[in-house]
Amino acid sequence: MSAKPRKMWGTKEMASCMQVMRVVQSYLDGQTDQVTARRVANHLDACRRCGLEASTYREIKAALARQAAPLDEESLERLRAFGSSLSQQTARGEAESGSGDTSPPA
């Protein structure tokens, strides 16, 4: 006689629909631990309703990723140049003073 399946999320290999729907988005975002991920994946393979819903969320995420607008390269370059200038300012300050402290602006 086979053992009765245990109902706890932490011990059962196949999770329930409700349990899966609670974590499916974290799963799709790669933010669940490996054990949870395996159980969710097993459930999505076996349950058509949850599988379809997860597919829809995957498509939503993909559609959103396609919306990422390219950054303004000139703006990016100006900011990188500004950041580099800060480092260079530090290097010059060290070379000229060696010691002493100039407080940064408030």
Partner 1 sequence: MRATGTGLPAVVELTAKTGAHQPEDPFNRYVLPEVEVLLRVAHTLTSRPADAEDLVQDTLLRAYQAIDRFDGAHPRAWLLTILRNTHINRNRRRRPELLDDQDAAFERLASTETDADSPEGLVVGSAFDAVVSDALDALPDRYRQIVTLVDIDGLSYAEAAETLGVPEGTVMSRLHRARGRMRHRLVAAGLAPRRKL
Q: Which residues bind partner 1 (CB under 8 A)?
A: 25-26, 29, 31, 49, 52-53, 55-57, 59-61, 63-69, 71-72, 75-87, 89-94, 96-97, 99-105
Identity of the residue, 1 or 63, whose beta carbon is nearer to partner 1 in the bound complex: 63
What are the counts of helices (DSSP H) followed by strands (DSSP E) for the chain? 4, 0
Shortest separation between residue 61's beta carbon and partner 1, angstroms: 5
**Is the distance from CB of 50 to CB of 17 less than 8 angstroms?**
yes
**Is the distance from CB of 39 to CB of 15 less than 8 angstroms?**
yes
Identity of the residue, 29 or 45, whose beta carbon is nearer to partner 1 in the bound complex: 29
Shortest separation between residue 73's beta carbon and partner 1, angstroms: 10
Identity of the residue, 14 or 31, whose beta carbon is nearer to partner 1 in the bound complex: 31
**Is the distance from CB of 25 to CB of 40 less than 8 angstroms?**
no
Q: How many CB atoms lie within 10 A of CB 54?
A: 21
